Amino acid sequence: MAKRDDCHARGMHPLFHVPSTEVTLDLVQDFINLKIREGLTVEYKRAGDKPIEAVAALANTYGGLLFVGVDEGDKGVPSEIRGVPLGEKEKLVNQMGTGFDPPWSPEVIEVPCNEQGDKVVLVVRIDRATVPRPIVLNGAIFVRLDARNEKANRQMMRMLLDDANSQPEPRPSSVTRGLNVHESPFRIDAADPHVVLRAASSIQLWEGHERTRFPSGLAATVIEALQDTRALPLLSELGLALMDGGQVTITPWRLVDATSRRLRLQMSTVGSDGSVPSRPGALMTCTVTLRGGDPASELEVLFDTAFWLPRGVPLGLDLFLRVFYDSVPITANRLLPHVADATVGLKAMPVPLTEIHVASGGEVDSYGDVTPVDLEDIVSLSSLGERVGGRSITQGGETVLRSLVNPPHWDDAVREALVTMAMDWGFPDPKYPGRLPAGPNGG
């Protein structure tokens, strides 16, 4: 039960993503029982309070959940569902329709909460990615600061007006970080892996919540979060496939590099001679970084899966897909929420920016010169269909659509990004399967 509550408290409670028709009083009560304090992304309003300022503030900051008809106890902790009279939903929607500039309304779900049927609790779900920011309410711009709704100062207004996410999410034309450019896993030497697959996820920190360093003990928090994911069974499955059966030994997650603003952890297959990683084999690297100036204004998590392949045997498309289908939710739905909670106290995550990348290594000759290796030579891309054009493919990347990444749509989001990446490579109609069944050690 403790693990379930821990996951819920970090933004993965079903209330954040189930269809509105499945939002029940029991589900609302389950969230209230977690006793999550009001904060940057959660607010409770009693009957009689005016919730419209809270809607505007959450929309202009990180998004989140607003409950109307829930009493608070001490220090912003919810205490009891009392409900509000029928008709409050219509009143709130009308207020937003006339008071917001530009006109906009989030999802407002009406949940009956008494036997007589004359009281409801309103669950307002605010997806930051769909907000035409900034939302102006009666001439003022409200933002969320800790558990308060405040009018934005000039600097905050400038941030909102300059924010690339001020409009509903466009289709990204290019990725923001190339695997070979930012935190490259390649050292350009003979020990480099043949191919690396990356999931990257990040979140901007609002003014006043920037950090100069990570809290102490974060490495243990990240390791604990990693151990409760599919990373270990996935690496075991990759090892079995790469080593062609037999027993696979895996190292535990270990901290290999650490500063006050950056942590790097690794887990890998082990060769019979004790070599780490084994060749052939695989290595997973998790890098957690505070980025952007001093203090930092962005939290970033990178999750890399590197492969050393058997000679002449390409990486199968099934393994290629499985890494992305598993590593994206590990990064965006597990690791980043834990890091955000431990670093700035974000208990309910907004939708993060998430990207996928792939890049091949190079062949190093006796003079130390590196020749890039075509991905088609080391990954079974022919399974995607017939390719148009003869240009070399050495890397690719794509941004995952935020509108698809709320669970349980991770697979759809990843597949959409992979299809776009394949089209950029020259496959006009790529044949990607959906979620693949887990292997023998899939867990």
- Asked if residue 220 has pLDDT above 70, the reply is yes
- Asked if residue 8 has pLDDT above 50, the reply is no
Q: What is the pLDDT of residues 327-378, one digit of tens each?
A: 999 999 899 989 988 988 776 666 788 999 999 998 877 776 778 899 999 9
Residue 209, pLDDT score: 63
What gap in Å lies between CA 187 and CA 180, rounded to an integer? 10
Contact residues for 91 (Cβ-Cβ < 8 A; gap 6+): none
Residue 272, pLDDT score: 85
Residue 138, pLDDT score: 87
Reported for 27-33, long-range contacts at CB under 8 A and 24+ positions apart, including other chains, are 28/67, 28/81, 28/111, 28/113, 28/121, 28/123, 29/81, 31/65, 32/67, 32/70, 32/78, 32/81
| Averaged confidence pLDDT in the chain | 85
- Asked if residue 82 has pLDDT above 80, the reply is yes
Pick 20 or 405 by higher pLDDT. Answer: 20
The Cα angle at residue 11 between residues 132 and 55, in degrees rounded to 5: 35
What gap in Å lies between CA 198 and CA 225, rounded to an integer? 18
Instruction: State the average pLDDT over residues 139-148.
Output: 83
188 burial level (CB within 10 Å; 0-12, 13-18, 19+): middle
Choose the most confident range, by mean pLDDT, from 102-111, 170-179, 262-271, 410-419: 262-271
Question: pLDDT-derived band of residue 208, with 50, 70 and 90 as boundaries?
Answer: low
The Cα-based distances of 226 to 16, 299, 320, 327, 342 in angstroms read 22, 17, 20, 11, 15
Tokens of 139: 């001439």
Question: What percentage of the chain has pLDDT greater than the value 70?
Answer: 87
Residue 125: CB atoms within 10 Å: 19
Residue 159, pLDDT score: 67
Residue 163, pLDDT score: 57
Listed range (95-104, 170-179, 323-332, 340-349) with the worst mean pLDDT = 170-179
Give one word for 68, left, alpha or beta, with left for phi > 0 and alpha for psi -120 to 50: beta
Say if residues 318 and 327 touch (Cβ distance below 8 Å). no
Residue 151, pLDDT score: 84
The Cα angle at residue 113 between residues 111 and 115, in degrees rounded to 5: 130
Q: Which amino acid is at 189?
A: D
Listed range (116-125, 172-181, 378-387) with the worst mean pLDDT = 172-181
3-state SS of the chain: helix, strand, coil percent to 5?
30, 25, 40
Question: What percentage of the chain has pLDDT greater than the value 90?
Answer: 50
- Asked if residue 384 has pLDDT above 70, the reply is yes
What gap in Å lies between CA 276 and CA 194, rounded to an integer? 15
- Asked if residue 171 has pLDDT above 60, the reply is no
Q: Which residue has the tokens 């912003």?
A: 76
Question: pLDDT-derived band of residue 148, with 50, 70 and 90 as boundaries?
Answer: confident
Q: Which residue has the tokens 């509000």?
A: 84
